[in-house]
Amino acid sequence: MTSKYLITGSTGFIGYHLVNRLCKDSKNIVYGIDSINSYYTTRLKKIRLRILKKNRNFSFKKLNMTNKKQLSLEINKINPNYIIHLAGQPGVMYSFKNPKSYLKNNLIATKNLINIIRHKNLKKFIFGSSSSVYGEQKKYPIKENSSLNPKNYYALTKKKCEEIILNDKKLNNKSIIFRFFTVYGPLSRPDMFVSIFLKNLKKNKTTFLYNKGNHFRDYTYVDDIVEFLIKSLKKRKNIFKKKIYNICASRPKKIIDLVGIMGRNLNIRPSIKFMPKRKGEMLKTYGSNNKLLKEFGKKKFTRFEIGIKKTIKYFKKYNY
Ligand SMILES: NC(=O)c1ccc[n+]([C@@H]2O[C@H](COP(=O)([O-])OP(=O)(O)OC[C@H]3O[C@@H](n4cnc5c(N)ncnc54)[C@H](O)[C@@H]3O)[C@@H](O)[C@H]2O)c1
């Protein structure tokens, strides 16, 4: 039987990888929507879209989810069985510069979507949330039931989106929330550390290491994220009662060590400059994936040393 999937944020980093994987099964019909905003270079989004359009079972519509009427028309037209909501305004530091963008693209866009789909005959709804909702914690690894301490506007809007979904009775047994921890991989976002570092290397520029590179990040390879998103679509109802799951490799890495691994991979000695800590940035992200693996089955997460090789290959090929 064919299934219809709607992926919001389909020209974004994670959305692109999810669409590509779903399209591999010719029984799936995959729809993508995205505003293709200019938070980062639209050239990269267009490269992703060009690759995605090679799939015959994929269709795309450029659409801003803050426009409820247009969103509603599109959803009525598609009538999807599954929705995976990945569109949004990411980035922690940018949230101090432009909080309005988070209000619009996270909160209003999600509210619009939920108001439209709550009356639909949908099988499952998945929301891509973030580890940043936890903020700083005393105990690591962070479990899903830890207290939430958003430290920036990005985290706050993600928390609010989660609440909208959790409080919606109509979506109760159909919705699931995944909290992603620092995702990396081919064609990843240019505002994230791995891309910034690779770009600086290419241009012979110095990379600033805030907090002297002593931040810990629970780097998680994008294919691993996608694997769990797809698994959850096929799982039975009980996983939806438990609602919130971290997706993380649960292997935090210090940024300074990451720099060493990437430098060795490229055989380049990077130029780095230590800088003080920045306001609003988390010192450590380190999640527990026990709940995830218990419900979805065991899995070996991709080692950073392996994932980064593929990331670098794409970085060179597409020159982004
Ligand atoms: N990449 C990570 O490390 C990470 C970690 C935690 C959570 N997340 C979350 O996962 C989701 C996907 O992240 P990503 O890294 O792929 O980000 P991304 O910026 O690459 O993708 C998001 C896409 O959403 C689109 N978008 C934004 N506002 C929109 C709107 N109003 N209407 C339609 N489209 C809109 C953008 O154009 C973009 O292409 C985001 O919600 C993000 O907050 C990502």
Give the H or E element holding residue 180.
strand 175-180
Q: What is the DSSP string of 200-244?
A: HHHTT-PEEEEGGG--EE--EEHHHHHHHHHHHHHS-THHHHH-E
Inform me whether the pLDDT recorded for 213 exceeds 70. Answer: yes
Question: Ligand 1 pocket, 185 CB below 6 A?
Answer: no
Inform me whether the pLDDT recorded for 173 exceeds 90. Answer: no
User: Per the structure block, which two tokens stand in for 55?
Assistant: 């799939």
> Which atom of ligand 1 is closest in space to residue 15's alpha carbon?
16
pLDDT for 299 equals 94
Torsion, Cα 135 187 19 68, to 10 degrees, reads 60
User: Of the candidates 286, 282, 215, which has an alpha carbon nearest to the alpha carbon of residue 249?
Assistant: 286
Is 102 catalytic? The answer is: no
Most confident segment among 54-68, 189-203, 233-247, 278-292: 54-68
Q: What is the DSSP string of 5-29?
A: EEEETTTSHHHHHHHHHHHTSTTEE
pLDDT for 208 equals 95
> Which atom of ligand 1 is closest in space to residue 180's alpha carbon?
6
Question: Ligand 1 pocket, 128 CB below 6 A?
Answer: yes
Question: Ligand 1 pocket, 195 CB below 6 A?
Answer: no
Sign of the alpha-carbon dihedral angle for 10, 15, 17, 18: negative
pLDDT for 237 equals 67
Q: How far is CA 237 from CA 110, 195, 208, 242, 301, in A?
A: 23, 38, 46, 10, 25
Inform me whether the pLDDT recorded for 301 exceeds 70. Answer: yes
Per-residue pLDDT tens over the stretch 11-45: 999 999 999 999 999 999 999 999 999 999 999 99
Please tell me the distance between residue 90's alpha carbon and the centre of ligand 1 in angstroms. 6
The stretch 225-252 carries a mean pLDDT of 89
Q: How far is CA 265 from CA 187, 268, 307, in A?
A: 18, 8, 11
Q: Among 72-76, 185-189, 221-225, 264-268, which stretch is predicted with the lowest mean pLDDT?
A: 264-268
Domains of the chain and CATH, by start: 3-182+219-248+287-300 (3.40.50.720)
pLDDT for 1 equals 79
| pLDDT band for position 64 (cuts 50, 70, 90) | very high
Q: What is the DSSP string of 109-139?
A: HHHHHHHHHTTS--SEEEEEEEGGGG-S-SS
The stretch 241-251 carries a mean pLDDT of 92
Inform me whether the pLDDT recorded for 317 exceeds 80. Answer: yes
pLDDT for 240 equals 72
Inform me whether the pLDDT recorded for 238 exceeds 90. Answer: no
Q: Among 82-96, 135-149, 180-194, 224-238, which stretch is predicted with the lowest mean pLDDT?
A: 224-238
pLDDT for 280 equals 77
46 vs 53: CA distance, rounded Å: 10
- Mean pLDDT, rounded, of the chain: 94
Rg (CA), the chain: 19
The stretch 117-133 carries a mean pLDDT of 95
pLDDT for 319 equals 78
